[in-house]
Structure 1
Amino acid sequence: MTDYRIASIPGDGIGVDVQIEAQKVLDAAAKRFGFGLEWTEFDWSCERYAKTGTMMPEDGIEQLSGFDSILLGAVGFPGVPDHVSLWGLLIPVRRAFQQYVNLRPVRLLPGTTSVLAGRSADELEMVIVRENSEGEYSTLGGRHNSGQPGEFALQEAVFTRVGVERIIRYAFEVARTRSGRVTSATKSNGIIHTMPFWDEIFGEVAAEYPDVKSELTHIDALAARMVQQPDRLDVVVGSNLFGDILSDLAAAVTGGLGMAPSGNLNPERAYPSMFEAVHGSAPDIAGQGIANPVAQVLAATMMLEHLGETDAAAAVNAAVEKVLSEGVALTPDLGGKATTAQLGTAIAEAI
């Protein structure tokens, strides 16, 4: 029997609530399909920051390096600035473990509705491939002349040939397993250096994939298309910032952030990958037992797929669809009255 060592970081707010259910579901899948999951929980969070001044200990990366995978709840809480929580935990892990692919599949699940009227499930299904290690999310820059009339802030974006080429190539490989269509998000008409660089590399990679249809689309037009003609999109690849924004928009039109998972992947598997729901920590409903755990369960499913347990992942996906279709154990955001635990238990029992 294969045993996997999983680092569990529940984080803050509803991250704690949904993490419990995701682990419950995965344990049920492991029991059915004959593999083991060894969970180790870490209290790295904004609560820890309030007590110690750090989101995680100095040797946090070293502690995580021995695990097969990481399942993250959600991070963020009032009183701790978002840039502190993000750069204190999530981004350091992504970069230390070269998780340069942020993969965000979105689809309209059974029993849920879209804000877009008249759209069917087959029209609302796509994958966002986001560059996850460089781009606009850089520490280069600074604030100058603080408090003076001439105060200014300078933020530098970093686009390397290696970084751009590998994320675009990954998107084309994903497209080959799907419809064979890739759309690249750009803004080369306004951003004069980095975006033309991105476009050039996209064209070079596209030439190597004559079997895949490809197009460049400006980010503003692409956002409009995602709402007006989502059926024209399948695999969308974008820089760190563009991919971040588009994936939230895609989730919003396919049932909401409560249904959207994501994976921070090191495709070479030299380091552990990390999986998380797209939604935040929602402190306003934390601990009330009403948070929707589906996104975290689906993130855990992505983790199973990455570990090679594809049958177990398929079973979890089927269980989620079954429970949502039946409509009995739905949380308030889905129009039901079930608790977080009741929905999680229903999915686990369906496995």
Structure 2
Amino acid sequence: MPRIAVIPGDGIGREVIDQGLRVLQHLDGERGLDLVFEHLPYGADRYLETGTSITADEMQALRRYDAIFLGALGDPRVPTSQHAKDILLGMRFQLDLYINLRPVKLLDARYCPLKDRAPEEVSFVVFRENTEGLYTGIGGQFKRGTPDEVAIEAELNTRKGVERIIRAAFEYADARGLGRVCMSDKSNAMRHGHDLWQRVFRAVAAEYPAIEASHLYVDVLTMEMVRAPDRFDVIVTNNLFGDIVTDLGAQLQGGIGLAASGNIHPGQAAMFEPVHGSAPDIAGQGKANPLAAILSAGMMLGHLGHPDLEDRIERAVRDCLQADRVTRELGGTLSTSQVGDAVIAALDA
């Protein structure tokens, strides 16, 4: 009986999560998955009412769930986005969700900004290290506000952290019969931390002789993702570079409205979320595109041991895209809930 924590969050997060839940409940009724959903109030409303984003005990309680389904966080009433940082970064770091898994899969060629690219030519995944790098907050400021001000941001790389994300990328490729893993860094300029990535990558790659292991500096990687996306199966990189190249990947597949993600620590609770933000300017108007949330729900089912249902959801979303059963953002005329209706109908077709 899988327990799923549902955190709709802010803005359109509530609307898109509702459609993801409708799809999950539909498949639950069909297959008897016995999914148990528990809604949690973490978001801007609670932060503004109580001054608390999420307590330490509440964060630790998330470990008891099999998965977490997150909408979006961000509200103009909290200009610092402190609550979003507390919740989202808190989950990544405190729950040690070291894998940020971002599929880049073109489901309809019309949405790709690259000319004459077929769906099979844009189909890879990015493994972004999610708990180290430049996002750990190591650094400081000296003589702030003066002409002599100095600001330092330090990048943290540990052998344990680097090895486990690289190994996860190879294990993923090996389990799915994918033949290529590319590691990206900037070791020609960042000679200490990224030298560690180089050495660990070579050591782990040697354990998987059937998989072609390659390396690209991150500036070259971004060019190659545009020039020849079909050369990639799995990309693995650090936190900062992963943050950047996954958004480039999202655009290759049609935009962040179609980008799903997972934040994973194998064997523990994992968090799944659409990549897009909370878009408060259109919240409550039925304009939000729920497809990324629905695809994230599919990833969650795959993580919970139902890869066939993940595939069915992806096919249903593809069918809706090809039939223009989408919101205005993607050139259609449907509302948020009507897209949910369309995906459910496609699941039953």
Normalising by structure 1, we get a TM-score of 0.94
Q: 1:158 aligns to what SS in structure 2? A: coil
Q: Indicate yes or no: 2:33 matched with 1:25.
A: no
Query: Could you tell me which amino acid in structure 2 is paired with residue 244 of structure 1?
Result: D
Q: CA deviation at 1:321?
A: 2.1
Tell me what 2:307 maps to.
310
Q: Indicate yes or no: 2:238 matched with 1:236.
A: no
Tell me what 1:141 maps to.
139
Alpha-carbon contact 1:111-1:325 (below 8 Å) kept: no
Given candidates 277, 283, 304, the residue that maps to 1:280 is: 277
Alpha-carbon contact 1:33-1:312 (below 8 Å) kept: no
Given candidates 84, 87, 90, the residue that maps to 1:89 is: 87
- 1:160-182 residue CA offsets vs partner (Å, 9 max, x unmatched): 10100010011111222243101
Q: CA deviation at 1:330?
A: 1.2
Alpha-carbon contact 2:8-2:70 (below 8 Å) kept: yes
Alpha-carbon contact 1:323-1:346 (below 8 Å) kept: yes
Separation (CA, whole Å) in 1 of partners of 2:134 and 2:84? 14
Q: How many corresponding residue pairs?
A: 346
Q: Indicate yes or no: 2:1 matched with 1:12.
A: no
Separation (CA, whole Å) in 1 of partners of 2:312 and 2:230? 27
- 1:217-245 residue CA offsets vs partner (Å, 9 max, x unmatched): 11111111111111112211000111111
Separation (CA, whole Å) in 2 of partners of 1:150 and 1:318? 57
Tell me what 1:57 maps to.
55
Query: Could you tell me which amino acid in structure 2 is paired with residue 348 of structure 1?
Result: I
Separation (CA, whole Å) in 1 of partners of 2:69 and 2:21? 9
Q: 1:8 aligns to what SS in structure 2? A: strand
Tell me what 1:187 maps to.
186
Query: Could you tell me which amino acid in structure 1 is paired with residue 299 of structure 2?
Result: M
Q: Indicate yes or no: 2:40 matched with 1:42.
A: yes
Query: Could you tell me which amino acid in structure 2 is paired with residue 317 of structure 1?
Result: E
Q: Note closer, same or farther for the CA distance 1:203–1:83 as it changes in structure 2 (3 Å cut).
A: farther
Tell me what 2:205 maps to.
206
Alpha-carbon contact 1:258-1:292 (below 8 Å) kept: yes
Alpha-carbon contact 2:19-2:290 (below 8 Å) kept: yes
Given candidates 308, 322, 334, the residue that maps to 2:330 is: 334
- 1:63-106 residue CA offsets vs partner (Å, 9 max, x unmatched): 32221110000111224346624431111112222211110011
Q: Note closer, same or farther for the CA distance 1:216–1:82 as it changes in structure 2 (3 Å cut).
A: farther
Q: CA deviation at 1:112?
A: 4.4
Q: Note closer, same or farther for the CA distance 1:178–1:260 as it changes in structure 2 (3 Å cut).
A: farther
Trace 1:67-86 onto structure 2 (pairs within 5 A).
67-81=65-79, 84-86=82-84
Trace 1:148-227 onto structure 2 (pairs within 5 A).
148-176=146-174, 177-227=176-226
Query: Could you tell me which amino acid in structure 2 is paired with residue 68 of structure 1?
Result: D
Query: Could you tell me which amino acid in structure 2 is paired with residue 185 of structure 1?
Result: S
Tell me what 1:345 maps to.
341
Separation (CA, whole Å) in 1 of partners of 2:227 and 2:129? 25
Separation (CA, whole Å) in 1 of partners of 2:191 and 2:320? 49
Q: 1:56 aligns to what SS in structure 2? A: coil
Alpha-carbon contact 2:109-2:118 (below 8 Å) kept: no
Alpha-carbon contact 2:109-2:119 (below 8 Å) kept: no
Given candidates 88, 110, 113, the residue that maps to 2:111 is: 113
Normalising by structure 2, we get a TM-score of 0.95
RMSD: 1.6
Alpha-carbon contact 1:11-1:46 (below 8 Å) kept: yes
Query: Could you tell me which amino acid in structure 1 is paired with residue 330 of structure 2?
Result: L
Alpha-carbon contact 2:74-2:81 (below 8 Å) kept: no
Alpha-carbon contact 1:301-1:317 (below 8 Å) kept: yes
Separation (CA, whole Å) in 2 of partners of 1:203 and 1:227? 26
Stretches of structure 2 lacking an aligned partner (at least 5 in a row): none
Separation (CA, whole Å) in 1 of partners of 2:80 and 2:165? 26
Separation (CA, whole Å) in 2 of partners of 1:90 and 1:16? 16
Query: Could you tell me which amino acid in structure 1 is paired with residue 197 of structure 2?
Result: W
Q: Percentage identity across aligned positions? A: 44
Q: CA deviation at 1:191?
A: 1.2
Separation (CA, whole Å) in 2 of partners of 1:350 and 1:83? 37
Runs of 4+ aligned structure 1 residues displaced above 4 Å come to: none
Q: CA deviation at 1:309?
A: 2.0
